[in-house]
Structure 1
Amino acid sequence: MPGRMACLVLAALNFGWDVPAASGAERPRTVLLVLPRDPGSDHGAALVYRVIEDVLRQSQGYDYQSIDSAGAAADHTPEQVRALVATARQAYDELELKTAIRHLEQALKLAEDNPVSAVDGAEYRWAMTLLGASYHLLGESARGHKMFLRLLSIEPAARLDPTLFPPALTRAFDDAVAAARRLATGTLDIQPSPPGTEVWVDLAFRGVGPMQLALPEGRHLIRLQRRGFQPFGMQRDVLAGAEEVIRQTLSPLPGSPAVSSRAAALLTASDDEVPPPARELLERASARRLFWFQVAVSGSRLSLSGRLYAPEIRRPVPFPEQVFDMSQEQWQRQLEAVFSSFSADLGGRTLAGIDTPTPGPGSSDAARPPPQERKTSRKPWYATWWFWAASGGVAAGAIGLVLGLTLTQGGGSPRSGDVVFRF
C-alpha cells in the first residue's frame, strides 16, 4: 500500500487530479449580484455591494469580474496608470528624477483626462506623493509644495512615511499640511439617478447619492456608477464658499435588463437546486462562481441573505441571514469580516460534494448504510513490495562486490591515477 499511495500522490501532482487538500488551484472567475428587496433598500444594497466587491477584488481565491463587463467597453486606463507609476518608482529609487517626473506626470494626466475610469485611488495618490517628492529633490520646491498641497486637498489625512523619505522632505510636507488647513471649501450637492448610485470623488468612494460634500477649493474628479448602468465621470472646480448642484442620470448598459430580470427571478428561487436563471447568469459571464444577495432595510436595521451558485453543484450554498445595525460606525467592517469568513474556503476548492446533506440531530441511523469491513490484501510473500525492495538491495550489493573484485584482482596493481573501488 505505501508504494501504491506514493504513485497516486505523484500522479495527482503531475496531472492535476482533484485531491481534497489540493492547493494552488486556479482562481475561479467570479461575479456578484446584490438586489434590494424593495425600493427603500436601494441605499443599503449599494453599500453592501461596495463592501463585498472590495473583498472579492482583493481576495487571492477569486478572479473577480463585474457581471456588466460583457456589455461595457474595456477600460485599460487603470493598468496603464499602474505601469507608468511602477516605472516611475523604479526611476525614483535610482535617482533618475527627471525620468520619474515624466512618467508620473503622464500617469496623473491619464487618470484626470479619464474621470470615468476606475483608476485605483491609492495608485493615484501615491503618484502625487512621488511627484511632489521628486520636484523637491530636483530643487523645484515651489512645484513640490503645490503638488503636496494638491494631494492634501483630496486626502487631508495623507502623511509621508519617515522610513521612506528623508527628513528634509517630511519637513516640506509638514509645511504643506499647515497650508492645506487654511484652504477654503465649497459644496457639491450631487443628485444622481437612479437611486443607489455610488458617488466617487478623487477616485475614493464617498457614499451613495444623493449627498452633499464639502470639498477644499480646487479641481476634483467626480465619478458616478451603479451596476447595470454606464458610469459617468467629470472634472469639477470647487470654488471657495460656493455651492453647486450636479444632477446626472445614468444610461443603462446593453443587456442589463436581461441580467436584472434573471437576478430578480432568484428572489423566489428554491434552495433545493441551481435554477436556470442562475446557470444563465454564470454562462453569460463565463463564470464559475456567482454570489447572489438580497438586502432589506428597515430604519437602521439591514438584513442580508444570499447564496453561492456554481455550475458543478446541484444546490446553492446558502449564506445565512445576517442583521446589521447601520447606525453603528463599524457595521461595514463587520459585514466585511462575515463575508470574508464565508467566502474564504469557497474559491479555488472543489464544490462537488458540498451540497451533500449532513444528517441532523433527529436523523435516523437506520437510513445509513452499514459500515463496510476494510478489505485486507493477502498477497503471497513473493508479490509484496518489501520482498522486491530487499531483492533489489541484495542484487545491487552483489554487483558492486563483483565489480570491486574485478578491478582489484583481475587487473593487477592499480596504476597511478586509477580509481579503486573497495568494499
Structure 2
Amino acid sequence: MRLLLSLLLLAPAAFAQEETSDEEGEVAPSEHPGLDSPEAVRLHKYEGPRRRAQAFLIPMDEKARAPTARVAQAIEGVLARTPMYEVVDLGRILSVESTSEQASRADEGRKLVSEANLAAVSKGWREAAGLYAKALQALEKGLPAVGPAEYADALLRLGVARWISGEEKTAKSMLQAAARLDPQQKLDVQRIEPGMAPLLRAARAEAEAAPHGALDVDSRPAGTRVIVDGEAKGNSPIHAELPSGKHLLRIERAGFYPHAELVEIPPRKTVERSITLSVTPAAASLNQAIAAAAEESGRGTVGKSVGALAEKFSLERVLIGSVRSQDEKVAVLLALVDPSTRKIVASQRLLLLADGTDADQIETDAQNATRSLVQQDSSPSEEAPAARAEKPALANKEPQAVAEPAPATESKQPAAKKKKKGLRGKTGTEGWPED
C-alpha cells in the first residue's frame, strides 16, 4: 500500500488520464499538482504512518531576515498540509509569557485588584478607586504578562469607582479608554455595578465616533505576531487604522520575550513603532544548533547538530535551511534529513530575486521547492511489505504459472519400454512383475 501510494502522489497526472468522474463540478487535476493541492487531496487520501517533522530556517546575514520570514512561512504552509507529516508545535514549546520581573509586577497588580474588589463590595468606593489606580500602575509595568482583557477590566473597575465617588469627568475618560481596549465588547459591567451599563454603552459609542489615526508596526525579527487591543492584526510589518486614544499593543514570536505597551494614537496622524524582541536563552541555544546544522547540510553532510535537533524535539524528519543575501537576490538552501539514518533525503538550492517587490514570488518558489523535497521522501524498508500487500492476487498466481508446465517437463524423461500386443490387445504377459 505504501509503495503504491507514493507512486500515486508522485505521478497523479498519469492516473488522472485513466480516471474520469461523472460528478458535476469535478475537474481533472493539473499536470503537476503539489502534495497540498486540492486535486491531490481529493484524489489520494493518505492512510500511512505520520512522521514527526519540523523546519528550521536561519538568516545568514542582516539583509536576509525579511526573505527568511517569507520562505519560512511558505515552508510551514506546505508541511502543515502534507498528510504524512505531523508538524511539531515549536511555538508552544518555546513560548514564554514574560520575564520573571514582569510576571512579578503583574502578580502585584492582581493582588491590588483583589483588595480593591473587597473595598468595592463594602461600598468603600473611594478606597477602591485608590487601590485600582495602584493596581493599574503595577499592571502596566508587567504588561507582557497581562492579557488585554484583564487590563481593560481593571480600567473599567477604576472608572466605575471614580463615577460613584463623584469624579464623573475622570470616570467618563476611564470608561472610554476601557471601551477602546475592548473592541469585541466582552467587558461585563453588570457584575461590577448594574447601574453603570448605560454609561458604558455611551462610552463605547463615543469611542467609536472619535476621529481615527493609524499605527505602523515593524519589528525585529520580521514576521512577529502583532496584536492590538486583543485583536490579531497579522505579522509585522502591519498598518492599522484605529480610533484616537490609547491602545494596547502586543508583539510576540516563539523563542522571544513578548513586548507590550500602551500607545497613544493622535487623531488623523500615524504613529510608527519599531520593536526589537529579545531572544530567550532556550531559543538562543537553539539558533546556534540551527546554524551548525545548516552549515553541515550545506556541505552535503548530516552531523551531530541535526541529530541534536531531532532528539530535542523527537523528530523523524528535519527540514533544515539557510537564506543568504547576494546583492538583489537571496540564495536559499533547503535539505530534508532523515535523522535516524543521518542521510539527506533531498535538497534544493534556489537563487531568488529579493528587491522588495517580489514577496509573493519568493513564497511561491519556496513552496514549490518544499513540495519537491516532500515528493522525494520515501522509506524503502516500509514500502516493500506494503507493496506485496497491495497486490495479493499477483502473489497467488505466480506459483500456479510455474506449476502449469510440469507435464511438459515430465514428458522429457525416458519413456517406458512398450510391449507388443497380440490378438485382442493382449500381450500374454499380463500380471507379470515389472523389470
* TM-score band, normalised by shorter chain: 0.3 to 0.5
Q: Which TM-score applies when normalising by structure 2?
A: 0.46
Q: Which TM-score applies when normalising by structure 1?
A: 0.47
